[in-house]
Amino acid sequence: MSIKLGVDEMRYIALFEGLTGARVQDCIIHENGARLTFVVKTGDIGFVIGKGGNNIRKTKRMIGKSVEVVEYSADPVKFVKNILMPARVKGVNIVEREGKKIALIDVEEQDRGIAIGRGGRKIQCAKKLALRHHGIQDISLV
């Protein structure tokens, strides 16, 4: 699945890669422009965080926005779990309904709020990333 990036996304990716050394696959600028989500290649999450969290703190300060980072996985189940972290996901079942791929996610009851996010932001981001990278049209918490 090909992902189209705009000029702003490419600029943020170049800055992020330069600051962290991680290889970025995707970038989403959220609706209000105050938040960015980067998808980094498998194994690069350690570069992003850095020793004691120094890299991610420095990156957030330099970019001047809230930054979320998701580690890519070719396995759609693992990728969906990565998107929803730090929520504890008990299971992900990907089903086909009416010609649409849907991910049914079982989350620890006390972590439902974390998985949904304030105002539904986390789950909306998860839906967008799952569609862009694995063709999953919807995500539902069960």
The whole domain housing 40 covers 7-71
Does some domain include residue 134? yes
Does some domain include residue 42? yes
Does some domain include residue 1? no
Q: How many other CB atoms sit within 10 Å of the CB of residue 35?
A: 15
d(CA 78, CA 133): 12
pLDDT average, residue stretch 82-106: 95
Per the structure, the count of domains in the chain is 2
CB 130 within 8 A of CB 136: yes
For 87, residues 6+ apart whose C-beta sits below 8 A from its C-beta are: 107, 108, 111, 112, 114, 115, 122
Does some domain include residue 132? yes
Does some domain include residue 117? yes
Does some domain include residue 101? yes
Q: Do 44 and 83 have their domain in common?
A: no
Read off φ and ψ for residue 70, nearest 5 degrees.
-125, 135
**Which domain-ending residue is among 43, 71, 99?**
71
d(CA 43, CA 97): 33
Reduce the DSSP state of residue 22 to 3 states and report it.
coil
Q: What is the pLDDT of residues 109-141, one digit of tens each?
A: 999 999 999 999 999 999 999 999 999 999 999
Does some domain include residue 2? no
Q: Do 45 and 83 have their domain in common?
A: no
Does 1 have pLDDT greater than 80?
no
Does 15 have pLDDT greater than 90?
yes
The two tokens of residue 76 are 């759609």
Q: What is the pLDDT of residues 25-65, one digit of tens each?
A: 999 998 888 899 999 999 999 989 988 989 999 999 999 99
pLDDT average, residue stretch 6-19: 94
Read off φ and ψ for residue 75, nearest 5 degrees.
-85, 115
Q: Do 67 and 80 have their domain in common?
A: no
d(CA 139, CA 123): 8
Q: How many other CB atoms sit within 10 Å of the CB of residue 11?
A: 12
CB 63 within 8 A of CB 12: yes
Tell me which H or E stretch contains 112: helix 112-116
